[in-house]
């Protein structure tokens, strides 16, 4: 009888493959004799590199093709950077596992000419490269003297553009740099007081078919409960606000004894309006904490800000 086989769908980017290989190796170690195959492909978000993500829509830009493979039984699981995975999944698919989180902070990477400076001391007019509206809004709020330009491409491509002098600095996820072995490029970890991170940032999400008990049992060995609790609260917060990865919504979460503390932020694109608050509750019900925080921010005007943003960045026909 042939050995059991697990088929993994993954993006083809270097970071995605590093993450997928980590999942493959961890599952192979946990389940000796399990055959694991990787099917790598380019997603829509990987193919469209000359348009800002916010202008082409963000619902599943980096996930739809992988999900389609599972729905037609060409793959059993898909490995995602959790921050890229929409909070509402296609019918028949579930988030089966959340892995232990790497540092979720945003990181400053500078051109060599600014190696003696910090984010706070960058000169007026310095060009900051970021494709994230969340980072853009928060940094505009705190550092209105800086200039911001969209930057696309994988992490290596972005670093090459920085080193070539197209930008004075970049804002990237510390976790991604670390996974690529590029932690030495981190010049400064940005304090959460300045930039709250993306929902799910630093964690991997493993998606699978609903009801596929054998596959779910295999991947559950990688579930990290403290990370899962925090990310479930964060994703409930985002889902309630109907936001996506290309909307200025940021979070930070932590566990304190049996409590989960969630900080959330919604900002206008110009950074002039920024609403921030926190909620805490029993970590046994993380979704309730996320929903409560969403209601708190909505009562303070977050809904109106998001409506304006949805209208301004609505994908072009």
How does pLDDT run across 113-125, given as a tens digit for each residue?
999 999 999 999 9
Q: What is the pLDDT of residue 46?
A: 47
Contact of 197 with 105, CB cutoff 8 Å:
yes
Mean pLDDT of all residues in 272-299: 98
Q: What is the pLDDT of residue 101?
A: 98
Mean pLDDT of all residues in 96-109: 98
pLDDT at 315 over 90: no
Confidence at 310, pLDDT banded by 50, 70, 90 = confident
CA 6/CA 218 separation, integer angstroms:
9
For the segment 157-190, what is each residue's pLDDT rounded down to a tens digit?
A: 999 999 999 999 999 999 999 999 999 999 999 9
Confidence at 244, pLDDT banded by 50, 70, 90 = low
What is the token pair recorded at 256?
Answer: 């304190």
pLDDT at 47 over 80: no
Mean pLDDT across the chain? 91
pTM: 0.90
Confidence at 223, pLDDT banded by 50, 70, 90 = very high
Sheet holding 127-129, edge to edge: 147-149, 127-129, 169-173, 106-110, 188-189
CA 250/CA 257 separation, integer angstroms:
24
What is the token pair recorded at 52?
Answer: 């800002």
Confidence at 55, pLDDT banded by 50, 70, 90 = very low
* Least-confidence region, from 58-72, 121-135, 146-160: 58-72
Instruction: Give the domains, in start order, of the chain with CATH numbers.
Output: 1-101+202-223 (3.40.190.10), 106-189 (3.40.190.10), 225-317 (3.30.160.40)
Q: What is the pLDDT of residue 44?
A: 56
CA 317/CA 315 separation, integer angstroms:
6
Q: What residues form DSSP beta bridges with 253?
A: 262
Active site residues: 84
Q: What is the pLDDT of residue 50?
A: 45
pLDDT at 45 over 80: no
Q: Which of 115, 118, 110, 106 is nearest to 169 (CA)?
A: 110
Confidence at 286, pLDDT banded by 50, 70, 90 = very high
Mean pLDDT of all residues in 74-94: 94
pLDDT at 313 over 80: no
């Amino acid at each position: 009888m042939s050995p059991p086989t697990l088929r993994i769908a993954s993006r083809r980017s270097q970071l995605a493959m590093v993450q997928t290989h980590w999942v493959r190796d961890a599952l192979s170690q946990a389940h000796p004799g399990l055959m694991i195959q990787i099917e790598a492909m380019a997603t829509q978000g990987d193919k469209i590199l000359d348009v800002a993500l916010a202008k082409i829509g963000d619902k599943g830009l980096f996930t739809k093709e992988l999900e389609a493979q599972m729905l037609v039984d060409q793959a059993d699981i898909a490995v995602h950077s959790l921050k890229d995975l929409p909070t509402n999944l296609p019918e028949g698919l579930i988030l089966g596992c959340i892995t232990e989180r790497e540092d979720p902070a945003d990181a400053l990477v500078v051109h060599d000419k600014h190696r003696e400076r910090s984010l706070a001391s960058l000169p007026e007019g310095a060009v900051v490269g970021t494709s994230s509206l969340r980072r853009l809004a928060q940094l505009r709020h705190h550092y209105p003297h800086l200039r911001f330009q969209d930057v696309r491409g994988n992490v290596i491509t972005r670093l090459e553009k920085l080193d070539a002098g197209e930008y004075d600095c970049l804002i990237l996820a510390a976790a991604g740099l670390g996974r690529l072995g590029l932690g030495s490029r981190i010049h400064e970890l940005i304090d959460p007081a300045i930039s709250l991170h993306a929902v799910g940032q630093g964690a991997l999400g493993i998606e699978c078919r609903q009801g596929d008990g054998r596959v779910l049992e295999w991947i559950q060995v990688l579930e990290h409960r403290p990370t899962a609790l925090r990310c479930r609260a964060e994703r409930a917060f985002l889902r309630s606000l109907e936001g996506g990865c290309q909307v200025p919504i940021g979070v930070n979460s932590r566990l304190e004894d049996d409590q989960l503390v969630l900080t959330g932020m919604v900002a206008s694109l110009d950074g002039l309006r920024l609403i921030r608050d926190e909620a805490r509750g029993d970590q046994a019900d993380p979704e309730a904490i996320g929903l409560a925080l969403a209601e708190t921010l909505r009562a303070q005007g977050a809904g109106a800000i998001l409506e304006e943003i949805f209208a301004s960045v609505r994908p072009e026909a």
